[in-house]
Amino acid sequence: MNISKKEGFVKVLGFRIFYKTFGSKNSKSNLVCLHGGPGATHDYILPLADLAQYGFRVIFYDQLGCGLSELPKNLALFTVERGVEELEEFRKKLKLGKIHLMGSSYGGMLAIAYALKYQRNLKSIITTGGLASVPLTVSEMQRLKKRLPKQVQRTLAKYEAMGEYENAEYEKAVMVFYKKHLLRLKIWPPEQNHTMSHISKPVYNTMNGPNEFTIIGNTRYWDKTDMLREIRVPTLVTGGRYDEVTPKVAQSIHEGIKGSKLVTFEKSSHLPMWEERDKYIETLREFLTSVDGA
């Protein structure tokens, strides 16, 4: 099938934002996909473009300071709240109307934040390895760390105590965690490697911290668990059995959003769009089709 593709830049809240679309403007509905990080690029979630063959228009963009989008000097711009307004302005600029919204990891958190303010503009929400509570997620990641081999734990503790997060030995130990709980494939796809090597450190360090399980940035106290009941749009909560954002975190979102559907991919960690691609895409297709049909 010949799927139309488009990419370009759009001015959003004063900055150039890079975007990429798959499918035509005449598609039955628009699915906007939010990458994680914060500070990653859209590349690692490109498997979602598979949905274009089923008649959906799939839209990606690099958030402010990420990937090919403009990087401002003002670090104070890197907040969840501004991310919400950026998404809303992006939706308006591309004239997308009511959208389906998918968020991976931090993108799932951003999708929840957007829904709490602009759910009138949503058809549905999908989270994949998403979170509604950073404190809960951090506590779960610390639990997973304690299951790593003792030598790996000692290496992590040693360099964390010294604040040497970019030491080669420390990064090697972090990769042990990532291979278990981020992406369990023996060979990582080029899109994932591209994202990992192009993480925007100004964004990542400001909002998150030095790595996935050391969250000391401005999102560290973010917790909207008690507000999830306000979300009333159809919601699909997904994640992997071995996810760094654990099934307990996914369960908390599912319990908070009334009527939501929860799907756990048993052979996946944080990126089931790669680890169980066909099953993942089919799960999303069924959900989106059911929402549009209703």
Q: What percent of the chain has pLDDT over 70?
A: 100
Strand ranges across the sheet with 56-61: 5-12, 15-22, 56-61, 29-34, 99-104, 122-128, 235-240, 261-265
pLDDT at 1 over 70: no
Q: Output the pLDDT for position 215.
A: 84
Q: Residue 197 CB: number of other CB atoms within 10 A? A: 8
What's the token pair of residue 21? 């679309």
Query: How do residues 202-216 score in pLDDT, each as one tens digit?
Result: 999 999 988 877 888
Classify 258 as helix, strand or coil.
coil
Q: Output the pLDDT for position 28.
A: 81
- Pick from 126, 141, 119, 136: nearest CA to 263: 126
CA angle in degrees (0–180, nearest 5) for 25-28-31? 75
Query: How do residues 30-50 score in pLDDT, each as one tens digit?
Result: 999 999 999 999 999 999 999
pLDDT at 6 over 80: yes
CATH no. for 5-293:
3.40.50.1820
Q: Output the pLDDT for position 269.
A: 98
The structure's pTM equals 0.96
Q: Output the pLDDT for position 2.
A: 75
Domain-wise residue ranges, the chain: 5-293
What's the token pair of residue 96? 């997308």
Query: How do residues 61-111 score in pLDDT, each as one tens digit?
Result: 999 999 999 999 999 999 999 999 999 999 999 999 999 999 999 999 999
Query: How do residues 131-185 score in pLDDT, each as one tens digit?
Result: 999 999 999 999 999 999 999 999 999 999 998 998 999 999 999 999 999 999 9
Q: Output the pLDDT for position 234.
A: 98
- Residues tagged active-site: 105, 243, 270
Per DSSP bridges, beta strands 5-12 and 56-61 are: unpaired
Classify 158 as helix, strand or coil.
helix
Section 115-140 average pLDDT: 97
Q: Output the pLDDT for position 294.
A: 79
**Out of 22-26, 78-82, 152-156, 268-272, least confident range:** 22-26
